[in-house]
A and B are shown apart, each in its own frame.
Chain A
Amino acid sequence: MFYREAGQYKTNYIADSAIFPILQDRIAIAGFLAIAFVIIPYFGNDFFINSMMIPFLIFSLAAIGLNILTGYTGQISLGTGAFMGVGAYACYKMTSIFPDVNIMIPIVLSGFFSAGVGMIFGLPSLRIKGFYLIVTTLAAQFFLEWCFIRVAWLYNYNDSGAIEVPQRELLGWIVTGASATPTTRYLVVLSVVVAMTWVASNIIHGRIGRSWMMIRDMDIAAELMGVRPLFAKLSAFAVSSFYCGVAGAMMVFFWLGAAEVESFDVNHSFLILFMVILGGLGSLLGSFLGAAFIWMLPIIIRAVPDIIGLNINAATVEHINFMIIGGLIIFFLIIEPHGLARLWAIAKQKLRVWPFPY
């Protein structure tokens, strides 16, 4: 009743190709942004912002990156964790070589390093398809992990082998390091994620994005129709790794504060693949929904025994956690293989015709 496009006429081509053609959608997006930028920083406590919102946003960005590669271009990758690591280590090296540069510049530049590495490991994708590609991305994952341990130059030869985030200011606010408040860090992360999501949406709806989708749907047909596979696949690897790299840099600089190679291991690659597939392959909204689901659910499950007064030890909760997540992944795949984003699309369609069934 409230959600329908009756009476909203499109009178020019720009309006016709808008991403949110319906007024109610635009209002909802504005509402979400208002909540994210004003209400959450104002009312949210430190725990909520620091252990739920910041990682959720960062993983969403990484999930967008993987979604560009897997969801839009159809190339399965298990190297996300390592590409995030490349971004993090590149950012760390840049801040230690150029200590006076504004912190946002190395954060964004680190994405380019990651994109370069991603393109090198994307080269085999021109010959290799489907599950075979998993192996090349796993090669990237394990080789880069090995580099993070063995190449001491990457962590400035310190004894711990970890990278520690220095304190940096942005517009007079301390944004990184131990004394930065969660709220400032949250706002910085949120701004970057919103800006990069907007860019991603424009790339995907543009010419490059359409050529990615043609490659995904049928690469030979796309090639015959004039899409260059070399350019399309490598650009997908580059953009995807760029997003993962920035996400990795932000993960260390705005969330963890210090990181070792374990923060970028193959389990993180799986985690982000879960987010993408559960959220919905080939959907930006799905990246956010998947990240929220996979990241928030364990935290909620951990809190449940306390709330209902059961006294279970932490290890048991962790094991049950694994079982529930595994079970839910299978459950969601069975009821809706196209992910949470499709469930939302179905709900939207129902709302549109409500109160009639169709």
Chain B
Amino acid sequence: MDLLYNVFVDPFAQMAALPDFLLQVLWEGFVSGTLYALIALGFVLIFKASGVFNFAQGIMVVFAALSLVGLHALGVPAILALILALAIMGVLAFSVERLVLRHLVNQPDIILFMSTIGLTYFLIGLGELIFGGEPKSMITSELGLPTGSTTFEIFDGILILQHIDIAAAVIAAILVIGLGIFFSRTRIGRALRAVADDHQAALSVGISLNQIWAIVWFAAGIVALATGIMWGARSDVSFALQIVALKALPVLIIGGFTSIPGAIIGGLIIGFGEKIFEVYWGGLLGGGVEGWFAYVIALIFLLFRPQGLFGEKIIERI
């Protein structure tokens, strides 16, 4: 009986008693959800265009952020460092296409997936070799990002919003809208969608697969850089981020592998769900449930909708 009370009544009583705290928790959930969504966005871009399940997205985030911080530490001005970091992601996209993907066309999915794990290891080694393994702090103020915080008085309590979090949400929104316009309005965007629909048909009307893949990896690189800056500003730039990036997988499951709005909504569901569960129910289990709760949410979703919220319906034929 006590247990039932603790599970079903007490958390809601707490939420009602301290609405300002609930709002704060929801805000935290929103912000981490945005960041998960950004990582998932990189996955979706590449999966849509090439069918490659890009495991290296997490390390690309770390690598992009490290290049930015590392270049700035060498004395390069912040804006120039940003441009150079973008250029590095471009070179990376081009070489991945040229050296890895081009040789693996037509291989089964798991082989392509494995090659991106190989890429992950390579980038971990390269990143640590060049920039060192210790955590670094992001050059937030040099990039012109806000650092302060605003306090609202609400429900007889306070709600603290970090400006960097607001900026993260705004940048995420801009990225999504930008990508949406890019996909639907430009020539390259249309070619990308054609490739996503059917590789062979796209090839037969003269779309260069190689070029499209390089472009889409570069787009994922840009998303990775934005994610890296935002995440780095909230904590530190370190290789631990790569494990956190695995959280993008449940986000993808909920949203469906091929849907950009799905990635956003999935990210928010995971972000909210995980924070609320950790704060209100985590104590019953001894805390630290954030590590696995996201996967459990995804598991429950999968049992009811195996293709995700926005995924295309799976039709199986012999």
B123 CB–A CB distance under 8 Å: yes
B142 CB–A CB distance under 8 Å: no
A127 and B304 alpha carbons, distance in the complex (Å): 9
Q: Mark B95-139, 1 if CB is under 8 A from A, else 0.
A: 000011001100111110111011111111110110001000000
Would you call the interface of chain A mostly helix, strand, loop, or mixed?
Answer: helix
**Which residues of chain B are near A274, meaning CB under 8 Å?**
114, 117
A130 CB–B CB distance under 8 Å: yes
A 124-146 contacts with B by CB, 8 A: 124, 127-132, 134-136, 138-139, 142-143, 145-146
A224 CB–B CB distance under 8 Å: yes
**Which residues of chain A are near B303, meaning CB under 8 Å?**
124, 127
A303 and B119 alpha carbons, distance in the complex (Å): 24
Are B126 and A323 in contact (CB-based, < 8 A)?
Answer: yes
**Which residues of chain A are near B250, meaning CB under 8 Å?**
135
**Which residues of chain A are near B125, meaning CB under 8 Å?**
319-326
Are A319 and B285 in contact (CB-based, < 8 A)?
Answer: no
Please, which residue of chain A has its CB at the minimum distance from the CB of B107?
Answer: A337
A130 and B314 alpha carbons, distance in the complex (Å): 12
Are A136 and B288 in contact (CB-based, < 8 A)?
Answer: no
Please, which residue of chain A has its CB at the minimum distance from the CB of B102?
Answer: A334
Are B302 and A124 in contact (CB-based, < 8 A)?
Answer: yes
Are A334 and B103 in contact (CB-based, < 8 A)?
Answer: yes
B295 CB–A CB distance under 8 Å: yes
Task: Using known A-B contacts A146-B292, A322-B124, determine if residue A128 contacts B302 with beta carbons closer than 8 Å.
Answer: yes
A329 and B128 alpha carbons, distance in the complex (Å): 19
Please, which residue of chain B has its CB at the minimum distance from the CB of A323?
Answer: B125
Could you say which of A142, A321, A330, A333 contacts B295, with CB atoms under 8 Å apart?
A142
Are B292 and A320 in contact (CB-based, < 8 A)?
Answer: no
A220 and B115 alpha carbons, distance in the complex (Å): 28
A318 and B99 alpha carbons, distance in the complex (Å): 24
Could you say which of A142, A273, A329, A333 contacts B121, with CB atoms under 8 Å apart?
A329
A143 and B292 alpha carbons, distance in the complex (Å): 5
Are B53 and A131 in contact (CB-based, < 8 A)?
Answer: yes
Are A136 and B118 in contact (CB-based, < 8 A)?
Answer: no
Smallest CB separation, B290 vs chain A (Å): 10
Are B289 and A134 in contact (CB-based, < 8 A)?
Answer: no
Smallest CB separation, A158 vs chain B (Å): 17
Task: Using known A-B contacts A266-B246, A325-B121, A326-B120, determine if residue A136 contacts B291 with beta carbons closer than 8 Å.
Answer: no
A124 and B120 alpha carbons, distance in the complex (Å): 28
A10 CB–B CB distance under 8 Å: no
B306 CB–A CB distance under 8 Å: yes
A316 and B317 alpha carbons, distance in the complex (Å): 51
Are B291 and A139 in contact (CB-based, < 8 A)?
Answer: no
Would you call the interface of chain B mostly helix, strand, loop, or mixed?
Answer: helix
**Which residues of chain B are near A149, meaning CB under 8 Å?**
288
Report the interface size for chain B: residues with CB under 8 A from the other chain.
49
**Which residues of chain B are near A318, meaning CB under 8 Å?**
128
Could you say which of B109, B117, B129 contacts A319, with CB atoms under 8 Å apart?
B129
Q: Mark A146-168, 1 if CB is under 8 A from B, else 0.
A: 10011000000000000000000
Are A139 and B318 in contact (CB-based, < 8 A)?
Answer: no
A74 and B187 alpha carbons, distance in the complex (Å): 39
A310 CB–B CB distance under 8 Å: no
Are A145 and B318 in contact (CB-based, < 8 A)?
Answer: no
A192 CB–B CB distance under 8 Å: no
Are B115 and A132 in contact (CB-based, < 8 A)?
Answer: no
Are A220 and B316 in contact (CB-based, < 8 A)?
Answer: yes
Smallest CB separation, B261 vs chain A (Å): 19
Are B121 and A322 in contact (CB-based, < 8 A)?
Answer: yes
B172 CB–A CB distance under 8 Å: no
Task: Using known A-B contacts A131-B257, A319-B125, determine if residue A326 contacts B118 with beta carbons closer than 8 Å.
Answer: yes
Task: Using known A-B contacts A135-B253, A136-B302, A334-B104, determine if residue A145 contacts B291 with beta carbons closer than 8 Å.
Answer: yes
Are A277 and B114 in contact (CB-based, < 8 A)?
Answer: yes
A132 and B47 alpha carbons, distance in the complex (Å): 13
Could you say which of A146, A221, A319, A337 contacts B111, with CB atoms under 8 Å apart?
A337
Please, which residue of chain A has its CB at the minimum distance from the CB of B243?
Answer: A266
Task: Using known A-B contacts A146-B291, A220-B318, determine if residue A127 contacts B111 with beta carbons closer than 8 Å.
Answer: no
Could you say which of A218, A220, A323, A325 contacts B129, with CB atoms under 8 Å apart?
A323
A136 and B295 alpha carbons, distance in the complex (Å): 7
**Which residues of chain B are near A337, meaning CB under 8 Å?**
104, 107-108, 111
Are A323 and B122 in contact (CB-based, < 8 A)?
Answer: yes
**Which residues of chain B are near A322, meaning CB under 8 Å?**
121-122, 124-125, 128
Q: Mark B76-112, 1 if CB is under 8 A from A, else 0.
A: 0000000000000000000000011001100111110
**Which residues of chain B are near A135, meaning CB under 8 Å?**
249-250, 253, 295, 298-299, 302
**Which residues of chain B are near A143, meaning CB under 8 Å?**
292, 295-296
A247 and B242 alpha carbons, distance in the complex (Å): 27
A315 CB–B CB distance under 8 Å: yes
A270 CB–B CB distance under 8 Å: yes
B206 CB–A CB distance under 8 Å: no
Task: Name 26 interchain pairs, CB-CB below 8 A, sorted by A.
Answer: A76-B110, A128-B306, A131-B257, A132-B306, A135-B249, A135-B250, A135-B299, A136-B299, A139-B295, A139-B296, A142-B292, A142-B295, A143-B292, A143-B295, A145-B291, A146-B291, A146-B292, A224-B318, A281-B110, A319-B133, A325-B121, A326-B121, A327-B122, A329-B121, A337-B107, A337-B108
Which B residues lie at the A interface, using CB under 8 A? 53, 99-100, 103-104, 107-111, 113-115, 117-126, 128-129, 133, 243, 246, 249-250, 253, 257, 285-289, 291-292, 295-296, 298-299, 302-303, 306, 316-318
Query: A124-B302, A132-B253 provided; 8 other pairs, C-beta below 8 A?
Result: A128-B302, A146-B291, A224-B318, A322-B124, A324-B125, A325-B125, A333-B107, A334-B100
